[in-house]
Amino acid sequence: MKLSDGEKLIILMLADLQKALNVKGEIDGNFVSQAINRDRLWAINWQYQSIPFEPEDDPPAVKQTTDILDMWMSIEEAYADLSEADKKRVAIEAEPFGTNVRFEGFDANHEDHYRIARFLVEDMQRYKYYAKHELNSHHSSVPAYLRMYRIFELMRRGLGNRRRLNANEIIHLLKEQVHHPKIARLG
């Protein structure tokens, strides 16, 4: 969705009027205001899918964020289902990442993915799985997550009816967090 500055101002003023007059409608003026003020116009399309907006791709950072959140949910759920023996193997073979297999978040200071994830979880009530997660990793994480996701995407296609990752796959994914200089130069 693209809005001119004037259109944004008009929408924000209408949202203020809706709130001041206590008007309840199908469109949540507070949500629309938040989406505009936080530059999350893509979220309006997501929230109001019944409105025939012009088709538009989400910004790349939004797609990356949702892909990463989906991947980590799969990893955490699969890890929780592992036997104790497999969890010990993950801890040893994926060291130092195998002892606390949990999504650490994004860097709130330098990665817009953090603000996107917060907006998805808190404002849009999506990805409720992450409601109790700390979403700020306090360090750069997107490059590592994208390396992991490239592998995860291939794995997911091969899961078939199994649906859950196994210990070997989790180990392989966790190890992708290590920076590979040769791969970084190619990508």
pLDDT tens for each residue of 30-62: 999 999 999 999 999 999 999 998 888 999 999
Q: What domains sit in the chain, N to C, each tagged with a CATH number?
A: 5-47 (no CATH), 60-186 (1.10.3190.10)
pLDDT tens for each residue of 147-165: 999 999 999 887 776 678 9
- The residue-averaged pLDDT of 122-145 equals 94
DSSP readout, the chain?
A: ----HHHHHHHHHHHHHHHHTT---SS-HHHHHHHHHTT-HHHHHHHTTTS-PPP-PPPHHHHHHHHHHHHHHHHHHHHHHS-HHHHHHHHHHTTTSSSS-S---B-TTT-HHHHHHHIIIIIS---GGGTTS--B-SS--HHHHHHHHHHHHHHHHHHGGG-S--HHHHHHHHHTTS--HHHHHH-
